[in-house]
Amino acid sequence: MAPFFTQKDTITFEGPDATSPLAFRWYDKDRVVFGKRLEDHLRFSVAYWHSFTWPGGDPFGGETFMRPWMHGSDPLTLAKQKADVAFDMFRLLDVPFFAFHDVDVAPEGATLAESIDNLKAITDIFAKKMETEKVRLLWGTANLFSHRRYMAGAATNPDPDVFTYAVGQVRAAIEATHKLGGANYVCWGGREGYETLLNTDMKRELDQLGRFLNMLVEHKHKIGFKGPILIEPKPKEPTKHQYDYDVATVYGFLERYGLAKEVKLNIEQNHAILAGHSFHHEVMLAFALGIFGSLDINRGDNLLGWDTDQFAMDVGELVPVFHEFLKGGGFTTGGLNFDAKIRRQSIDPDDLLIGHVASMDACARALIGAARMLEEKGLEGPLAARYAGWDSAESKSILAGEKSLDQVADRALSMADPQPRSGRQEFLEGVVNRYL
């Protein structure tokens, strides 16, 4: 196959005055910010599915990209061609990670055994390529939502045979991830939910999902996989209601099924918006609950009510998110995975590179601003002042359980009426703008 991209050399940092769309203006990977290199903070990852598998279709029209590896009579040969282009792109972008679903990288066969053989063949190709390339695997996962067998879910399916098939598929996917040295394994329950309650036993389905994930955790330990299992919350699409609705819902689920110490979250901006939250909200809550794991970095369109998976470009939205991210300690095994796709009309091969470069720059610029804001206590100072009353010995004793309701209520009888203080929202919004 002829070279896919016109770009031949690895894309480099050229500084804020650069005008080429294939040069970094802010992402200087070796720049030290908040005690760590930008590359080590951000841990960028290319998503195999959107970048190399999505044909550019939508509900009203078909393929627009016409990728050469999408057409031919030998699916395994096409998968190998796709892998060549993928690893060339990883090199051009100089990213440290990539991520994939099993069916993104290897064709499904007539049987599960044949599908697994195909996955093993591609895994061997990846392993060989990774011997001489920088890129590593951020995470793998199994696609348990596209095939018609999963129309009523995988782990939550009313048919135990479908549940069993899904277990076989997941075992192969996590073992492939382990073989490639993956840092995490992700579960996205695209059809683990319901379309109507009229044919749904919700308690039964939740119990099935809880057992499925416990089996996965047990197998992870059996094979020696060291990374965390990650759940990716999303409230809807493709189902009407998904059981992994948002961070708070997943946390309750993990606690109920004894998984809170084993499973963390992979959070996505577009999914947060669909759940009625901001990206900032979901990241803050995940850190507060101790279940932050990784981020799918994209954005939605505020004028559209569905998951558009556009590249993250809004520095103003990202600065508060990265402020929370840095305050919480950043990534351990996670990273910024580009679960984003170029627009249907962006049909030139280099558009795929340009989208990643522009978004990598936006993330780097936002993290640099967030680090300055944290170092200068732009938000932390006012926040500490707002809650300062809780630092007194009397207040601490209440939260420590050393005071009864009667004792606290009796003290209230001797107090003057507390007067409210300004929340200073406009001031704080102005503070954030200083760091964009």
Residues with catalytic roles:
101, 104
Q: Where are the beta strands (DSSP E) in 184-247?
A: 184-187, 193-194, 229-231, 241-242
CA distance 119 to 106: 5
Closest CA to 372 of 433, 282, 329: 433
Distance CA 66, CA 392 (A): 66
Q: Please state whether the peptide bond connecting residue 238 to the residue before it is cis, i.e. omega within 30 degrees of 0.
A: yes
Q: Give the CA-trace dihedral at 53, 187, 88, 41, to 10 degrees.
A: 140
End-to-end CA distance of the chain: 43
Q: Which residues contact 164 (CB under 8 A, 6 or more apart)?
A: none
R_g (Cα) of the chain, nearest Å: 24
Amino acid (one-letter) located at 403: K
Q: Alpha carbon of 7 to those of 24, 87, 156: distances in Å? A: 14, 14, 45
Residues 6 or more apart whose CB falls under 8 angstroms from that of 117 comprise 109
